[in-house]
Amino acid sequence: MGGKAGFGIGIQLRVCSETRFVFMLIRLHQRHPDWLIALAGILLGASTFAAEPYKPGGDNTVVESLRTTASKAPDRELRSLRERVKREPTNAAAALDLTRILIQRGRAEADPRFLAQGLVALQPWLNGDSPPVEALVLRATIRQSLHEFDAALQDLDRALAQDPKHVQAWLTKATVQTVRGDFTSARQSCLLLTRLADRLTATVATAQLGSLTGNAKASYNALEQALQQAMSSPRPPPIEQQLWALTVLAEIAARSGQIDAARRQFTNALSLAPTDSYLLGAYADFLLDQNQPDAVLDLLHQHSRIDALWLRVAEAGTRRTPIDESMVRDQVRDLAARFEAAHRRGDTVHRREEARFRWRLCADARGALQLAQDNWKVQKEPADARILLETARAAGDSEAVLTIETWIQTTKLEDVAMTRQAQP
């Protein structure tokens, strides 16, 4: 076990070096966008950067797990679009299509390299006083994923100034406003969506917001009905839209304590996207709340590359009986190296996960609380509120506890896990 963990750390150091370069490029894009265009060929064609060669420890060492045949179609599509953009550098539609695929891959695989490549693909179309609306919306989507919320909203406002009825722009704006806890503004954006978007899209957005502001039951019922109606229509919604609706239903049910409904909706969503990183993380959290660590390990054992999922594997390992102390120790050491690498490359996207790591796996209540408070300044989703409340109570910081409990009461957030935590 120790040898295997050591190999994992070696691979992670290589990936961290690679990802650090990507974040450097993202920052350069923000400061010197014209210069970055010269590197488009590198990012669009390369996936591995210089690193010390890895030497396997023996003949039985797994060097790489190759993708299965079933996963080759998305790779072929991505490769085809990249080649098309190279052949047709003045084709805006091709660049936008490539960016959409890169965003999808970046989200599904929790890999910022795809987002960096998306920025490069968009850059030629963002120059000038009136960039195409679609380019602005896609850049806003990337910025949202990187937690650059102010910049994302600026892009969306520019896009909506040109096209006030752009559904995706309003949807992304509502999402950013909700994540930031600006529920008043998010409600206005959702109201516009009810007039502009199809019923399912508008209902998912409004249900997500409603479930965070005291209307969880009604929101769940409305969304479930809208999804059933959409699925019974002659033209069912796209898989991505079904997945979004099912994931929101599962999360609402989980927060509301509807265990059977949550499990059913998570299972339905996983049948559509069994490798989606966000969905896997949300389901793993649900299983941990149900004290099912073995189920978490079965779910995530093949996802050690993704830090957030590997964190949940390590947490599940601490809840098993008996605990494999050697395995957990190796996982904690590996995660510590990953978070340290994130600090070196200036990545602050995963402060929530690091706060969770510091407290639940390292028992560093004060360090975890500081991270949770820094994270709270940026985003205010239920998971952000939960780790802040958890670490504030662990650190004995009554002021921080009062802050988050007041926020929960003011917003009327219904979350059984936090309700239990808030009990004296």
Identify the pLDDT of residue 407: 96
Select the more confidently predicted residue: 112 or 1: 112
Nearest to 266 by CA among 307, 295, 291, 237: 295
In a domain, 332, yes or no: no
Which of 358, 422, 100 lies closest to 238 in space, CA to CA? 100
- pLDDT score for 85: 87
pLDDT digits (tens, 9 = 90+) for 210-260: 999 999 999 999 999 999 999 999 999 999 999 999 999 999 999 999 999
Residue 213 CB neighbour total at 10 angstroms: 18
| Cβ neighbour number for residue 238 with a 10 Å cutoff | 9
279 vs 270: CA distance, rounded Å: 7
- Cα dist from 260 to 70, 249, 257, 266, 298, whole Å: 31, 12, 9, 10, 20
What pLDDT digit, counting tens, does each position of 33-54 carry?
444 443 333 334 433 333 444 4
pLDDT on residue 31: 52
CA-CA distance, 121 to 127, in Å (whole number)?
13
pLDDT of residue 259: 98
Please indicate, yes or no, if residue 242 is contained in any of the structural domains: yes
Cis geometry, peptide bond prior to residue 322 (ω within 30 degrees of 0) = yes
Q: Which of 271, 295, 319 is the last residue of a domain?
A: 271
Residue/partner pairs of 218-226 with CB below 8 Å, 24 or more apart: 219/252, 220/249, 220/252, 220/253, 220/256, 220/258, 220/261, 223/248, 223/249, 223/252, 224/249, 226/199, 226/200
Question: Domain span at residue 375?
Answer: 365-419
Q: Is residue 53 part of a domain?
A: no
Confidence of residue 295 (pLDDT cuts 50, 70, 90): very high
Residue for token digits 């779910």? 299
Per-residue pLDDT tens over the stretch 65-75: 544 444 467 78
Which DSSP string do the residues of 231-290 spell out, in sequence order? HTSSSPPPHHHHHHHHHHHHHHHHHHT-HHHHHHHHHHHHHH-TT-HHHHHHHHHHHHHT
pLDDT, position 22: 46
pLDDT at 89: 86
Higher model confidence: residue 13 or residue 331? 331
- 14 — pLDDT class (breaks 50, 70, 90): very low
Whole-number pLDDT of residue 380: 97
Euclidean distance between CA atoms 278 and 193, whole angstroms? 24
User: Does the residue 67 lie in any domain?
Assistant: no
In angstroms, the Cα distances linking 300 to 276, 282, 306, 332 are 11, 12, 10, 16
| Spatial distance between the Cα atoms of 247 and 403, rounded to a whole number of angstroms | 29
Residues 12-15: contacts with CB under 8 Å, at least 24 apart:
12/334, 12/337, 12/338, 12/341, 13/51, 13/337, 13/341, 14/51, 14/52, 14/54, 15/305
Residue 290: inside a domain, yes or no? no
pLDDT at 15 over 90: no
Q: Which two tokens stand for residue 80?
A: 């085809």
Look at residue 169 and tell me whether its pLDDT is greater than 70.
yes
Mean per-residue pLDDT of the chain: 86
pLDDT for 138 beyond 70: yes
Percent of the chain with pLDDT over 90: 71
Only one residue has tokens 């929790």, namely: 110
375 vs 81: which has the higher pLDDT = 375
Domain-embedded: residue 354: no
- Whether residue 393 lies inside any domain: the answer is yes
Mean pLDDT of 267-272: 98
Chosen domain end from 223, 239, 271: 271
Query: For 103-126, what is the mean pLDDT?
Result: 90
Boundary of a domain, candidates 271, 297, 325:
271
Q: Among candidates 307, 308, 285, which has minimal Cα distance to 296?
A: 285
Q: Is 60 exceeded by the pLDDT of residue 402?
A: yes
Please tell me the total count of domains within the chain: 2
pLDDT confidence tier of residue 420, bands split at 50, 70 and 90: confident
pLDDT in tens, 331-388: 999 999 999 998 898 888 899 999 999 999 999 999 999 999 999 999 999 999 999 9
Say if 8 falls within a structural domain.
Answer: no
Contact of 269 with 241, CB cutoff 8 Å: no
Q: Is the pLDDT of residue 90 over 90?
A: no
Q: How far apart are CA 205 and CA 220, in angstroms?
A: 12
User: Among 80-94, 138-152, 394-408, which stretch is predicted with the lowest mean pLDDT?
Assistant: 80-94
